[in-house]
Structure 1
Amino acid sequence: MDEYSIRLKGISKKYKLYNKPVDRIKEIMPFHSKKLHKEFYAVNNISLDVKKGETLGIIGKNGSGKSTLLKIISGVLTETAGTKEINGEISALLELGTGFNPEYSGIENIYLNGLMRGYTRNEMDGKLQQIVDFADIGSFIDQPIKTYSSGMFARLAFSVMISFKPEILIVDEALSVGDVFFQQKCNRFMKEEMQGVTKLLVTHDLSSIANMANRVVVIKNGAVVYEGDPLKGIEFYTKSIHTESFRANNSIALNEHIKISDSLLLNNFEKVSPDSLGGAQELVITGVSFTVDDSDYKGFISKGSKLEISMMIESKKATEELIIGYLVNDKYGNAVFGENTHSSQIITRATEPGKGYLVKLTIVWPEIQENDYFITLGLGEGYHEMNHIIQCWAHNIIQLKNITFNSVHGLFNNKIESITLEEIK
């Protein structure tokens, strides 16, 4: 028996891109010899083996070729070149709507999917209650699915798919439209109830990848650029994204008033764009660097990690007491947590005009919901939290991907310190 569920060798998918629709017709005319298209490889020479029972995470930027690869594996698309060997029945949740009739009710679509897979009505009768219970969409199960929200549809589609007990399960971002509790329910089911099933997961949720995948591949421009350990794959992917972003933004010149030692800037500090600064700016943040657990950022942070942020600041005036703080926002701009030296009862030194200072700020990262988080750094001058001058805000200059290894019900977890259970007499 073959130990591999999927074997791909030299798989490519090529498309012809035309500037105008009429060029397609012109090109096939016998009297027309000029090529009017450009060739685009959505997938380019990918070779990949997936063992039976393995969970493979596939990550990459939008447009990198992930979905095309999964469609080739599932048979929705035909490869232009290469060979594939599939050993096992596939269930694939690729795009919302695939295999469902929008005019039919949820119940009718359950039976329709079973019929397409060769199940009898009696067999589907036996599966029906399990599907309805897992989807948990209430009375909407009897309504046409064209009335469903994307989250409700994802619930039904996933429930139908797992009821067929596939040997190979493919999920491509479709669960991301569901609420966080259903996502956790699906992840828990795949991890605990489908241990012998080969699973291919495409998602931007790096926590799911870290928790579920045995192996990760990173795809860029249609090709595999990394294959191996999930955490190292997350590090590789996130660093490549940050590197592209840094190259795009690091051409910004420093504020003309700021003069910083070049040797400091070369020491892993990134220049802070004047466009990201606010406040009176008589004290200015000019450079920032950070480490996680005394090492370079690996692309993610998690509960208990030590985050050390270093700031270079330039003082244009004398201050008697400097307030230094930070604020962490989620990707929607909501403030999650923050602190400053005044409320932490930490006294900082005075500053002198025309001098530069190096500030190191250490934070122990809490257990919070998996998400992207952005850190704003701030400088203030004064003796009171409610009565001080905001000298400098550096908005959203650090981005972190938080991953969790436990379920976080809400924004963050807060442990129960004590509990009693007494009999009522």
Structure 2
Amino acid sequence: MEREVVIRANNLGKIYKLYKKPEDRIKEAFSVFGTKEYYKPHHALKNVSLEVLRGETIGIIGKNGSGKSTFLKMLANVLVPTNGTVEINGRVTSLLELGAGFNPEYTGIENIYLNGTIMGYSKEQMQDKLDTILNFADIGDYVHQAVKTYSSGMFARLAFSVMVNLDPDILIVDEALSVGDIFFQQKCNMYMKNEMKNTTKLLVTHDMNSIANLADRCIVLDKGRVVFEGPPLESIEYYVKSLHSESFGQPTADNDKISNLINKEDKRNLENWNSVDVDKLGGALEARIKRFLIDVNGESYKGFIQENDEVRVQFLLETDRDISDGIFGYIISDKFGNNIFGENSVTSGFSNQYLRNEHVVTMQFMWPEIKEGEYFLTLGIGEGEHELQHIIQCWAHNIFKFDCITPKKTIHCLFNNKILNLTISK
């Protein structure tokens, strides 16, 4: 049986007027002939079309300013499009901005009833839903306080609980859950995945693991246009590769050096080598990391990484003097700066290296089974004979971000540690 189309957006566009000075608005208003333009048009969205089927989950990703929030606001009927049409078939609830739809002077309870009234529910119907909403939000007695006193996390808890319990046909969420604690985020994701299978969902998030686990398909927006549409993992790959191509300069001065130091198979990837910002370097710096290249399973990084993937790191270094006992290493840290895992060449059993002028160093390691999230790579060069007592010549801090995803698997803590024995006595 063919599923029903519940959202149909056709050539949606939104143009904002950007004025250089506040008085230009007044001049435009009183302009008799209207021949002079006092503003510069900004195309926040350009001819975006999308059809969404009932029960589908669509992920929407893109850089800040790419038009994601503008698109969702038009689907939620919060913004009027400059051009194009939107057809919605069903009850829509949206969590677009922290604070939207809530009166800050009202208590949590009063806002629950307010939102129920807006959605067409009677007071008696909302009373039947009240316990379920409060149990899911789990903010205790704060529900009797004015919401203007809430933390952002408490507000997100209450807002999400209200929206999902109003039985929406279509749920629109725009990054609002990112302010909640990690346990509540997991709770919301599990609820959307398991309890809202028949609800159409549109999600804007920078959490690639949520996209990989929840979305049926994704669209990637850039400068107001749809630049890619497809399965979640392919969309993540497209998005991250486009970010990398913009974020890293590609100076050609080092290409000849790299070409002379790597094998023929790697020469075709010269344009993919990323430069290292000097602001990220620390240490004595008599040996410095200049460029690097990341491969995963023998291919360019696709925007995500999983357990048992093989990571290869190559980096170009240069020295100001001869170094007879070079040590190399790496550290993977989380977004809070905690070092999660890493190693150096000495403790891995490799001999110290003689360094002079330029070298390309290649290191390989396996990605372990760790919790989903963002992780950052730091590379290091040391000088000395001992793994702990040596000169730090160069640290290249947080030069690359890995997005670890764990589809169809739950990592309860930082990593899973298997139960070796289980006995039940009766």
Identify whether the pair has TM-score above 0.5, normalized to the shorter chain.
yes
Identity of aligned residues (%): 52
Contact preservation (8 Å) 1:315, 1:351: no
User: 2:308 maps to what in 1?
Assistant: 304
Q: 1:310 to 1:143 in 2, by over 3 A?
A: same
Q: CA deviation at 1:275?
A: 4.2
User: 1:333 maps to what in 2?
Assistant: 337
Contact preservation (8 Å) 1:12, 1:79: yes
Give the TM-score normalised by structure 2. 0.91
User: How far, CA to CA, are the matches of 2:47 and 2:385 in structure 1?
Assistant: 63
User: How far, CA to CA, are the matches of 1:281 and 1:259 in structure 2?
Assistant: 22
Q: CA deviation at 1:79?
A: 1.1
Structure 1, 14-23 or 410-419: larger mean CA deviation: 410-419
Identify unmatched segments of 5+ residues in structure 1: none
> Which amino acid counterpart does residue 154 of structure 1 have in structure 2?
A
SS at match of 2:313: strand
User: How far, CA to CA, are the matches of 2:220 and 2:411 in structure 1?
Assistant: 27
- Superposed, 1:341-356 pairs within 5 Å as 341-344=345-348, 346-348=349-351, 350-351=353-354, 353-354=356-357, 356=358
Contact preservation (8 Å) 1:305, 1:364: yes
Q: In angstroms, what is the RMSD of aligned CA positions?
A: 2.3
User: How far, CA to CA, are the matches of 1:387 and 1:403 in structure 2?
Assistant: 36
Q: 1:40 to 1:269 in 2, by over 3 A?
A: closer
Q: CA deviation at 1:352?
A: 5.3
User: 1:260 maps to what in 2?
Assistant: 257
Identify unmatched segments of 5+ residues in structure 2: none
- Alignment coverage as a number of residue pairs: 416
Q: 1:8 to 1:271 in 2, by over 3 A?
A: closer
Among residues 403, 407, 412, which one is paired with 2:410 in the alignment?
407
User: 1:20 maps to what in 2?
Assistant: 21
User: How far, CA to CA, are the matches of 2:411 and 2:102 in structure 1?
Assistant: 33
Among residues 366, 369, 372, which one is paired with 1:367 in the alignment?
369
User: How far, CA to CA, are the matches of 1:280 and 1:38 in structure 2?
Assistant: 50
User: 1:188 maps to what in 2?
Assistant: 190
Q: 1:388 to 1:5 in 2, by over 3 A?
A: same
User: How far, CA to CA, are the matches of 2:85 and 2:98 in structure 1?
Assistant: 28
Q: CA deviation at 1:108?
A: 1.6
Give the TM-score normalised by structure 1. 0.91
Cα deviation digits, residues 125-149 of structure 1 (max 9, x gap): 1111111110011111121111111
Q: CA deviation at 1:327?
A: 1.0
Cα deviation digits, residues 224-269 of structure 1 (max 9, x gap): 111111101001111111111013xx45977xxx993555586343
Q: 1:16 to 1:316 in 2, by over 3 A?
A: closer
Cα deviation digits, residues 67-119 of structure 1 (max 9, x gap): 11111111111111111211111111111112212122111211121122221
User: 1:168 maps to what in 2?
Assistant: 170
SS at match of 1:71: helix
User: 1:205 maps to what in 2?
Assistant: 207
User: How far, CA to CA, are the matches of 1:261 and 1:122 in structure 2?
Assistant: 72
Q: 1:283 to 1:78 in 2, by over 3 A?
A: closer
Q: CA deviation at 1:326?
A: 0.6
Contact preservation (8 Å) 1:252, 1:273: no
Structure 1, 99-108 or 4-13: larger mean CA deviation: 99-108
Q: CA deviation at 1:320?
A: 4.7
Cα deviation digits, residues 335-390 of structure 1 (max 9, x gap): 2221112223x122541544x43322111112333332221111222222222222
Q: CA deviation at 1:422?
A: 4.1
Contact preservation (8 Å) 1:321, 1:347: no
Q: 1:136 to 1:376 in 2, by over 3 A?
A: same
> Which amino acid counterpart does residue 10 of structure 2 have in structure 1?
K
User: How far, CA to CA, are the matches of 1:35 and 1:311 in structure 2?
Assistant: 52
User: How far, CA to CA, are the matches of 1:79 and 1:97 in structure 2?
Assistant: 23
User: How far, CA to CA, are the matches of 1:191 and 1:335 in structure 2?
Assistant: 32
> Which amino acid counterpart does residue 93 of structure 1 have in structure 2?
L
Contact preservation (8 Å) 2:324, 2:355: no
User: How far, CA to CA, are the matches of 2:46 and 2:339 in structure 1?
Assistant: 42
User: 2:161 maps to what in 1?
Assistant: 159
> Which amino acid counterpart does residue 384 of structure 1 have in structure 2?
H
Contact preservation (8 Å) 1:271, 1:288: yes
